Every structure is written in C-alpha cells, then in structure tokens.
Chains A and B, each alone.
Chain A
Amino acid sequence: MSAVMITRKVRKWERLPGKNTFCCDGRVMMARQKGVFYLTMFLIMGTCSLFFAFECPYLAVHLSPAIPVFAVLLFLFVMAMLLRTSFSDPGVLPRALPEEAAFIEMEIEAANGNVPAGQRPPPRIRNVQINNQIVKLKYCYTCKIFRPPRASHCSICDNCVDRFDHHCPWVGNCVGKRNYRYFYLFTLSLSLLTIYIFAFDIVHVVMRSVDKGFLNTLQETPGTVLEVLVCFFTLWSVVGLTGFHTYLISLNQTTNEDIKGSWSGKNRVQNPYSHKNIIKNCCEVLCGPAYPSVLDRRGLMPEDSSSALTSFAPSSTSIPAPQTTKTTAPLIPNEHTPDDAKPNIAASAEKTSSHKAKSPPPKEEQPPLPTVPPLASPETDAETSISKDKMY
C-alpha cells in the first residue's frame, strides 16, 4: 500500500546551486544583485524618451523624418541586446554529480600518490597541451570539476562559467561564452546610440538657437541639457569599452585573460586560441555557432523512483530583451579561492563504488550507488550525498 502523493512538478532551475535568480519559470537567468541593471535600463530609456519627446519632433520636421525612425530602430536593438545579455545563461557549467566528483577525487589521489602526513597535498592542476602551449586546468573546489580551458569561477554568481569574460553589474549577469557577442553588440550599439543622440542634440540646439536664441532654446527643451550630460559621460566610458572589447576580440582573448596577463608574451607564452588572423578571430567570436545552454533549467526534476534517463529538453534561450551594458563598472574579480581539500571526501570516496582504474580496492563489495542518481543534483556537497549510500 503506497500513500497517494500529490507532488508538484519541480523544474530543474529551482534546484540549481549557485547564486542566480530565475524568472518566468526558468526562462530568465540573472545574478542576484540587479540594482545597477535597473539603473542601466533607466538611463537608456530615460535619455531616449527625452530625445523622442524634445528633439525628434523638431528634427523630423526641420531635417528629416528618417532621424527619429533610425533612432527608434537603434534604441530597440540596444534594448534587445541588453536584455539578451542580461537574461541568458552566460555558459554556466553544471557542478559535478557525486559520482563524478568521487571519480575525479580518486584520479587525483592516484596521481598524487602518498602524501606524508602533515604535508599539504600538491595543488590540483591538470596540464593539457593546446596548440603547442601548455595550459593549466585548475580544479574548482566548489563545483568539483577541473575547469575547462578559459572557464573561470564567478564568485558573485557562484558558478563556473565557460569562456568567462567578466561579471558585469551593469548588465546584472556574467559575460561568458554564450552571451559575449550580445554584450559586445550591446556596447557597440549603445556607443552608436549615444553618439547619435549627442550629435543630434547639438544639431538641434544649434538649429533652434539660430532661430530663437540659445537661452530660449534651453527653456523650450530642458530635456536637452540632461541628455547631453548623460551622453557626454556615457560616451567616454562606453566608447572606450567598445574599443577595448574590439581589441580583445581581434586577439581572441577574454577580459579575464587580459587582466591576468595569461598571454602577455612573457616566457614566450602565446594565446593558443587565436587564429593569428584578426578577421578569423572576429568571425569566430561574433559569428560562431550559437552554443546551447547545458543547464536545462526548464526540464522537470525526476521523481525519486523514476528512471535515470530524463528526456533532454534543450533549455530555452532567454527572451531577447534588449541589453544595455555600461561597462564602466569596476571588473569583479572572478578567481575562486580554493579551500583546502577536505579529507572527508577522500575517506568517504573510498567507500563508494566508484572504481579506480589502477588499483581496484582489495576490499570486498563496494556498496552499490543509489540506483537513480538525480541528474541535475541539488546537492553540491559530495560528502552528504556519498554518506547517504545505502547497502543493499
């Protein structure tokens, strides 16, 4: 006799570790702090509204109606890119499930051999050779994986992000593999929009002043002053940022790598990911394939007694909301400071049935793993999951 259970369908995003906020039932994914993002939206929408209200009627009549039309298109593109950058999954790598984490621990221990008591175990690093360059893959103690090349752990979102660029508070999200091109297009289009509004503000003031005098003009269109101020300060920051990212793209580097000086040329270290051709680098970054999200936010959590296979549901891309990022904000450091390896993990890992290639444990049975490991495990703590193994 089993009790009838009425279970609510739980989607995987509700159980994802990390410090993200989700909206629209998992379709939208952002960082926790969104205050600066709202400021970005306010500044862009506010300035553009003033432009449409004060300048556009005059310019449409006296110059050309194409001016406001183009401004609208540009504004919509900017907002689309902003929202796309802010709401999409930047390329978060899901944390390792307990079995995988234990497997990696076993491999690490096999590689380290016997560490004398009292001595710190060597740092967990894997070396891979990419394009005749040795690249070090670091182990992430939070996600319990060896980070792929170019991935980094964002301490604000508490996730490992693939091709991590930086965490942008203006956008309220990390910038990584999946949303870098939207971020770049946002800065580029915002630069154009800012220059456009600034230029036509000046034109408008000049044209009107010729007729009515400078002071009268300012009295009739007070919004102009505000717009010019905002545009002036925005110009310096956003245009500079666009230039900086154009430089990075042409070299196929990330902001993270640039800050750390990973490929600065010291010790003959060169960027192994660059095609050594500016056009090719730009094409790869901006026109490369659209990578899918590997998070599967909207998939349903499997029930405990269901089969191990859940259907693969490609996680939906975020609503293409416009994204505006003013990237003048100080770049947030992303390096995750490693904790010391917990000895408990090593001890309990031996008890699991994860096998080791080299030396199978001389002991008797290994307790079988729980039959149905949850796929997107809510438990990031390998210790608690492993200790829950039951003997059958």
Chain B
Amino acid sequence: MAETHSLQDFQRPAVSSKVFIQRDYSSGTICKFQTKFPSELESRLDKQQFEETIQTLNNLYAEAEKLGGSSYLEGCLACLTAYTVFLCMETHYEKVLKKIARYIRDQNEKIYAPRGLLLTDPIERGLRVVEITIFEDRNIGSAR
C-alpha cells in the first residue's frame, strides 16, 4: 500500500513494456548490437534516430575493444608492473565505458525521455542487451 501511495505522489509514469535489443555476433565476439528497428518503437521513435543511437554505441564499443598499438602497449606495460598499475590507472576500456554512459545519458535527456522512453546502459545488463523501457503515454491518453 505504501508503495502505491508514494507512486501516485511522484506521478511517475507506469512502465508499459520493455524492448531488448540483442547482441549482433556476426562480426565475432566483439560487443555489437543489432540495428534492426523493433516494431514496438514505431509509434514513438524514428527509425533513423534509433539506428544512429545503436550505431554510435557500436562504434564506441569497437573503440574500447580495438586491438592495436595502444592496447598492446597498455597490456605490455601493465604486465611488466605485474598489473599493479591498474590500481592507480584506469584502463582504456573503462575510460570508453564512461564515455558511453555519458552518451546514453545525453541521448535519454534529449531524445528518449521526451518520447516516454528510457535507454538502459548495456553494462547494467552484462553487455547482453540494450534495454529500452517504454512508459505509458499519459498525455496522449492511450497506453501501448
């Protein structure tokens, strides 16, 4: 009872449903999400907008997992210090994850929240899915 009471007090919209964007493994085990536009979002969001968001996320993850000179250097240096250097320093991947968190926050503020949607950072779902919560659209007066 207390929960319902406080819910109404805060006027928080109820969750209507959730869409889960799955991982795209066609390029291997790198972190990449499918860009296929789910039909549940058709009424709320542009296909273009959605694809752009997912594509940017994919690019960011690719940047985090890139195998190249800098990642090799980081790995070798860390090995030489018996990996104690990671006690004081952030890894490249963690830096990019912060970028991703900022990007998702931005996208939520600018694009998704005004449309009654919420993007959840994939790291909170074990990098398995991009969860998009669809809230009830009270303004228009029809849910779903």
Contacts and interface: CB of A to CB of B under 8 A. Distances in A.
Q: Do A and B bind each other?
A: yes
Given A289-B92, A289-B93, A312-B101, A305 B6 contact: yes
Interface of A: 2, 76-77, 80-81, 84, 93-94, 96-97, 99-100, 103-104, 128-131, 135, 137, 145, 148-150, 163, 181-182, 185, 272-273, 283-284, 286-292, 294-296, 304-305, 308-310, 312, 314, 317, 320, 322, 353-355, 357, 365-366, 368-371, 375, 392
Interface residues of B, number: 59
B121 A312 contact: yes
17 contacts: A77-B82, A80-B84, A100-B18, A103-B20, A130-B26, A130-B28, A145-B128, A287-B74, A287-B79, A289-B65, A296-B124, A312-B121, A312-B123, A354-B17, A357-B39, A365-B143, A392-B14
B128 A93 contact: yes
Interface in B107-137: 118, 120-121, 123-129, 131, 133, 136
B84 A320 contact: yes
Given A129-B26, A292-B91, A355-B40, A284 B124 contact: no
A242 B40 CA distance: 51
A199 B6 CA distance: 73
A131 B3 contact: no
Given A100-B20, A294-B123, A357-B38, A182 B83 contact: yes
Nearest to B22: A146
B25 A148 contact: yes
Given A148-B23, A287-B72, A314-B97, A94 B12 contact: no
Secondary structure type dominating chain B contacts: mixed
A239 B40 CA distance: 56
Nearest to B87: A320
A290 B25 contact: no
Contacts of A369: 15, 17-18
Secondary structure type dominating chain A contacts: loop
B19 to A, nearest CB: 8
A121 B97 CA distance: 40
Contacts of A305: 3, 6
A292 B93 CA distance: 7
Contacts of B83: 80, 84, 182, 320
Contact of A94 (B64, B125, B143): B125
B84 A317 contact: no
A137 B4 contact: no
B18 to A, nearest CB: 5
A174 to B, nearest CB: 16
B13 to A, nearest CB: 9
B71 interface: yes
Nearest to A94: B126
A294 B126 contact: yes
Contact of B93 (A77, A290, A354, A365): A290
10 nearest CB pairs, A to B:
A287-B75, A80-B82, A94-B126, A290-B91, A294-B126, A287-B72, A128-B25, A368-B14, A355-B17, A289-B93
Interface string B66-79: 11000110111011
Contacts of A163: 29
A320 B82 contact: yes
A150 B25 CA distance: 11
Given A130-B26, A290-B74, A366-B17, 15 more contacts: A80-B82, A99-B18, A99-B131, A103-B20, A129-B26, A130-B25, A182-B83, A290-B75, A290-B78, A305-B3, A312-B123, A314-B94, A353-B15, A354-B17, A354-B18
Contacts of A129: 26
B140 interface: no
A276 B133 CA distance: 42
A274 to B, nearest CB: 11
Contacts of A273: 28-29
A226 B62 CA distance: 51
Given A80-B83, A294-B123, A294-B126, A289 B64 contact: yes
Given A77-B82, A288-B75, A353 B17 contact: yes
Contacts of B75: 181, 286-290
B15 A148 contact: no
Nearest to A131: B28
Contacts of A137: 25
A148 B32 CA distance: 12
